[in-house]
Amino acid sequence: MSLQQSMDMILPIIEKTDDPSLRSMFDLLQERIDYPESFVTLLGETSSGKSSLINGLLGEQVLHVASKPTTGTIVELYEYDVENEITQYALLKNARLRRLTKEQFHDQSIQPSEDVSRLRLNIPKMPRDLQGMRLFDTPGYGSIHREHEEVLKEFIPNSDVIIYVVNYRVGIGENDAEFLQYIGKFLQDDIRFLLVINRAPEGTDATNVRVKEIIRYANDLLHADLDCFIVNSIPGDGVKLPDANDLWEAVRKEVQSDKRKQLIEAVLRNYQIQLLQETEYYWQQRMALSKASDEEIQAVQNAIGELQDKKHLANNLINETFNRLKKFIPKYFADARLKMDESIASEINNANKWTSAEECTGYIEVHVMPRYEKLVRKHIMYSIERELTLLNEQLEELINEAIVNFETRIDIICNHFEPIVVGIGRKIAHRATDGALKTFLARYGGRGGAGAGVANLAKKGLKYAGKMVGKTFSRETHNAVASFLKKIGATSTRNLSIAVSVFIEGVFYVIEANRWQRRLVEDVKKGTKKWEEDTVITVLKDLEELRDINHQNMNENFDDYLNMLNSEHVHVASEVDLSTVENMIHDIQQLYQYIEQEKVIV
């Protein structure tokens, strides 16, 4: 039975259910099945030639290229045969599309408006038989704004194919090395990574010393033996479109391979099963409410009320921890700055070490200040992580105990509600494994309105964790904490660099002995003060975002249970014909078991 045949069997069930949310999920899943593309992402440093590669693929200069950075946001290309020519759109943050002129598209690609999520090019027919591919051109890592950096990093783990472009003459610079190390954390067997050495002199091949150096460095950074493609620069005046036949042929073979298609089919069948399980949950709610007595429903409502109290306790616990951190973080950095000032001053005043003020100044700005910043930052991050880890453990204990007690009580009250509890556990499990149907469709489902992200279908929803227990409650929170701590490190390092350039770098101390040291100590204090002030502001802002994430993740797990007595279903329960509902549930279970048997294991 094909995916579409399964959808044809699911549709009558969804129509009988008459639930707008389920119908919306069905429609978005149908779109995804109609267009089961693989996602190909172009990454690389600013001006490495990513946009030129796309122009070469399309056979015309659609994307603007110049010596300075030209891509300020993500540009998406996909095949859309409704229109007869390449058309330009802006995908807005509210998931709507806005048609653009060529001039508007050019302007938005350099400096996107606040309401623009990314840009889109509708291609009537993908060149080189690249059907089944959606392609994303991304901003250069070294040039993107902070908000674009976060968007870009979301694309890496959710891509099927990554094409990383390196300029032959520039090689792998500091930004490339940092970015490739970051990518290495997310690379899995289901992501194909292709290295492109772009704008190489004509005739350059794999025996070239420079090419060997770039490949060796990239292999070391990613701990892999990478597939590499060399794209030669084109001599002469005017706009020249690069030829990358070997590259695009490799991409075509990958996205159209049987293995990739099987992975996509397996995951889409998994989402069909989830849709049916969501539908079953809908009918189980109705049946439970129809069979339960008024006294049993009231007892369940009382248990829900007590669970609501536990939710308030969890929220209060989060607020207490974050309020304490908000109070102490400025003190952490203030104490750290004083220790830095004292230690750095001691180094400066060790007169026997220095032959000149210039030598001392250079040593302090390049070695001493970064070293002490790293030491104090490590201590600060340890203190913050300790607080957040304790919070995490307390929340796990509170939530698990509350949920276990609630489920036990519901089981005692009335066994009619057991299927609802099982359905809720299933929902939470899918969410924990990054396979939640609603989340997937909201972000990746549609081609016209929804679909604000990319999705490696080989990853989504293939795992099933069973019922949620233990630490799985805090998976997303743990990831958010790790990201928060990493941002502290990046913020602190960046702010120190800025402070050094403002107060110390380039200063020439033409002062007699013993006086320049006093002057340098004072300038260091000004620099560390600026570092402290700027870093605290950013960290406190990020802390508030992390607080919101904690609330959201914790509330999601409670709310699934708190909403189990759907008020709309309570009112219509008396109108339900039980035999009809039982038959509907039986048909749903039979269908998703049949679809489960059809899944291909890759």
CA distance 104 to 91: 13
Give me the residue label for tokens 């990739």: 260
Q: Which amino acid is at 451?
A: G
**Per residue in 230-242, is it b (16+ CB within 10 Å) or e — as a string?**
bbbbeeeeeeebb
CB 241 within 8 A of CB 564: no
pLDDT at 571 exceeding the cut of 50: no
User: Is the model more confident about 434 or about 103?
Assistant: 103
Higher pLDDT, 504 or 527: 527
Residues contacting 382, CB < 8 A, separation 6+: none
Alpha carbon distance 129, 252 (integer Å): 7
CA 462 – CA 265 distance, rounded (Å):
11
* Token reading at 175: 């930004």
Q: Which pLDDT does position 62 carry in this prediction?
A: 84
Tell me what the mean pLDDT of segment 101-127 comes to. Answer: 89
As a whole number, the mean pLDDT across the chain is: 82
Token pair recorded at residue 371: 């070293």
Q: What is the 3-state secondary structure (H, E, C) of 488-543?
A: HHHHHHHHHHHHHHHHCCCCCCCCCCCHHHHHHHHHHHHHHHHHHHHHHHHHHHHH
How high is the pLDDT of residue 210?
A: 94
Mean pLDDT across 381-410: 90
Is the pLDDT assigned to residue 602 strictly greater than 60? no
Q: Mean pLDDT across the stretch 83-100?
A: 86
Q: Please give the Cα distance from 500 to 587 (Å, whole number).
A: 69
509-521 average pLDDT score: 69
User: What confidence score (pLDDT) does residue 430 get?
Assistant: 66
pLDDT tens digits along 211-232: 999 999 999 999 999 999 999 8
Which pLDDT belongs to residue 248?
A: 95
Identify the pLDDT of residue 480.
77
What per-residue confidence (pLDDT) applies to 303?
92
Q: Is the pLDDT of residue 464 over 60?
A: no
Distance separating alpha carbons of residues 163 and 255, to the nearest angstrom: 13
Alpha carbon of 95 to those of 436, 445, 447, 466: distances in Å? Answer: 20, 11, 10, 33
- What pLDDT was estimated at residue 81? 77
pLDDT for 353 equals 67
Q: How far apart are CA 299 and CA 294, in angstroms?
A: 9
Q: Name the residue among 28, 592, 558 with its Cα closest to residue 283.
A: 592
**How many residues are given for the chain?**
602
Closest CA to 89 of 73, 102, 72, 70: 102
* pLDDT at residue 274 in the model: 87
Given this model, what pLDDT does residue 12 score? 93
C-alpha to C-alpha distance for 224 and 218, rounded to whole angstroms: 8
Burial letters 49-66, b for 16+ CB under 10 A, else e:
bbbbbbbbbbeeebbeee
Best CA proximity match to 181, nearest among 156, 149, 150, 202 = 156
- CA gap 328, 323 in Å, rounded: 9
* Percent helix / strand / coil, the chain, rounded to 5: 65, 10, 25
DSSP 91: E
Residue 42: what are its φ and ψ, rounded to 5°?
-90, 120
Q: Is the pLDDT of residue 131 over 90?
A: no
**pLDDT band, very low/low/confident/very high, at 97 (cuts 50, 70, 90):** confident
Tokens describing residue 438: 């609603």
Helix (H) or strand (E) holding 277: helix 258-291
Assign residue 128 a region: left if phi > 0, alpha if psi is -120 to 50, beta otherwise? left
The torsion angle over the Cα atoms of residues 94, 95, 98 and 102, rounded to 10 degrees, is 110
Q: What is the rounded average pLDDT of the residues 468-482?
A: 57
Residue 449 has a pLDDT of 43
Average pLDDT over residues 385-396: 90
Residue 227 parent element (H or E): strand 227-232
Burial class (CB in 10 A: 0-12, 13-18, 19+), 483: middle
| Tens digits of residue pLDDT in 358-384 | 778 888 888 889 899 999 999 999 999
With 70 as the cut, is the pLDDT of residue 507 above it? no
In the predicted model, what is the mean pLDDT of residues 341-369? 81
Q: Pick the range with the lowest mean pLDDT from 79-93, 290-304, 471-485.
A: 471-485
Sheet holding 133-137, edge to edge: 97-100, 87-92, 116-123, 75-79, 133-137, 38-44, 161-167, 192-200, 227-232
Question: Does position 392 have pLDDT exceeding 60, yes or no?
Answer: yes
pLDDT higher than 70, residue 341: yes
Of 122, 88, 85, 120, nearest in space to 104 by CA: 88
Q: How confident is the model over 520-526, as a mean pLDDT? A: 90
Q: Which of 280, 266, 268 is nearest to 584 (CA)?
A: 280
Question: Are the C-beta atoms of 163 and 196 separated by less than 8 Å?
Answer: yes
Work out the average pLDDT over 163-191: 84
Q: What is the mean pLDDT of residues 525-536?
A: 93
Q: What is the mean pLDDT of residues 266-274?
A: 86
Q: Is the pLDDT assigned to residue 69 strictly greater than 60?
A: no
* pLDDT-based confidence at residue 51 (cuts at 50, 70, 90): confident
Q: Is the pLDDT of residue 20 over 60?
A: yes
List C-alpha distances in Å: 406 to 303, 504, 511: 7, 61, 75
pLDDT digits (tens, 9 = 90+) for 428-437: 766 665 556 6
CB 521 within 8 A of CB 349: yes
pLDDT more than 90, % of the chain: 32
CA dist 120 and 88 (Å) reads 6
Please count the CA atoms within 13 angstroms of the CA of 92 that sit on its side-chain side.
Answer: 8
Q: What is the pLDDT of residue 565?
A: 78
SS3 of 417-449: HHHHHHHHHHHHHHHHCCCCHHHHHHHHCCCCC
Q: Look at residue 104 and tell me whether its pLDDT is greater than 60.
A: yes
Question: In the structure, what pLDDT confidence band is assigned to residue 600 with cuts at 50, 70 and 90?
Answer: low
Kindly state the helix (H) or strand (E) to which residue 220 belongs, with its residue range. Answer: helix 209-222
Tell me the mean pLDDT in the region 329-341.
95
Chain position carrying tokens 């902070």:
146
307-333 pLDDT, tens digit per residue, is 999 999 999 999 999 999 999 999 999
